[in-house]
């Protein structure tokens, strides 16, 4: 995996360009638990040409600082053919996460597992702020 990041929004253009808007690693909240309405986990994978056509099971576990799972999702990724014989395969995927609930302030991580093996961990810090009117920012 060559990229793993949280963002407000992301897309892949027709030309294959990855567009990321509002990358973040912190959420401020005036009270807990807090619900974050929508975020995107942006991932870029690389695979060998030998893996062309294979399906990969993607699992994302949202863990709190005690290692307790507070959320998660699963997806399946179909690897395309290699762009040229012997060249590595590059795949970009965007996983939409809606209505994520974080029970308390602290350090969280989105662990990204591919076929049951942890490939990347994306940190997220939740901070209690005083005097804010919004739920999450």
- Is residue 114 exposed (0-12), middle (13-18) or buried (19+ Cβ within 10 Å)? middle
- Is residue 60 exposed (0-12), middle (13-18) or buried (19+ Cβ within 10 Å)? buried
**Alpha carbon distances (Å) from 31 to 38, 43, 75, 94, 112:** 18, 30, 31, 29, 28
Is 14 contained in some domain? yes
* Residue 118, pLDDT score: 97
Is 101 contained in some domain? yes
Range of the structural domain that residue 35 is part of: 3-128
Q: What does the pLDDT look like over 28-65, one tens digit per residue?
A: 999 999 999 999 999 999 999 999 999 999 999 999 99
Among candidate residues 95, 81, 84, the one with its CA nearest the CA of residue 44: 95
Record the pTM: 0.89
* Residue 131, pLDDT score: 64
Is 111 contained in some domain? yes
* Residue 136, pLDDT score: 55
Is 75 contained in some domain? yes
Is 136 contained in some domain? no
Average pLDDT over residues 84-93: 90
Overall number of domains in the chain: 1
Name the pLDDT band for 85 (thresholds 50, 70, 90): confident
Is 71 contained in some domain? yes
* Residue 83, pLDDT score: 84
Is 38 contained in some domain? yes
What share of the chain in percent tops pLDDT 70? Answer: 95
* Residue 137, pLDDT score: 54
Q: What is the DSSP string of 68-132?
A: -EEEEEEEEEE----SSTTPPEEEEEEEEEEEEEE-SSEEEEEEEEETTEEEEEEEEEEEE-SS-
Structure tokens at 99: 């209505």
Q: Are the CB atoms for 111 and 89 separated by under 8 Å?
A: no
Looking up residue 22, the CATH number of its domain turns out to be 2.60.40.2550
* Residue 132, pLDDT score: 47
Is 61 contained in some domain? yes
């Amino acid at each position: 995996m060559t990229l793993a990041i949280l963002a407000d929004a992301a897309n892949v253009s027709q030309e294959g360009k990855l567009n990321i808007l509002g990358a973040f690693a912190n959420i401020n909240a005036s009270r807990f638990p807090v619900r974050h309405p929508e975020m995107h986990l942006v991932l870029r994978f690389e695979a060998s040409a030998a893996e062309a056509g294979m399906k990969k099971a993607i699992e994302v576990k949202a863990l709190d600082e005690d290692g307790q799972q507070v959320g998660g999702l699963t997806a399946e990724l179909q690897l395309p053919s290699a762009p040229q014989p012997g060249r590595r395969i590059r795949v970009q995927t965007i996983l939409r996460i809606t209505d994520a609930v974080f029970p308390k302030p602290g350090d969280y991580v989105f662990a990204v597992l591919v076929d049951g093996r942890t490939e990347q961990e994306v940190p997220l810090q939740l901070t209690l702020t005083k005097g804010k009117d919004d739920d999450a920012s």
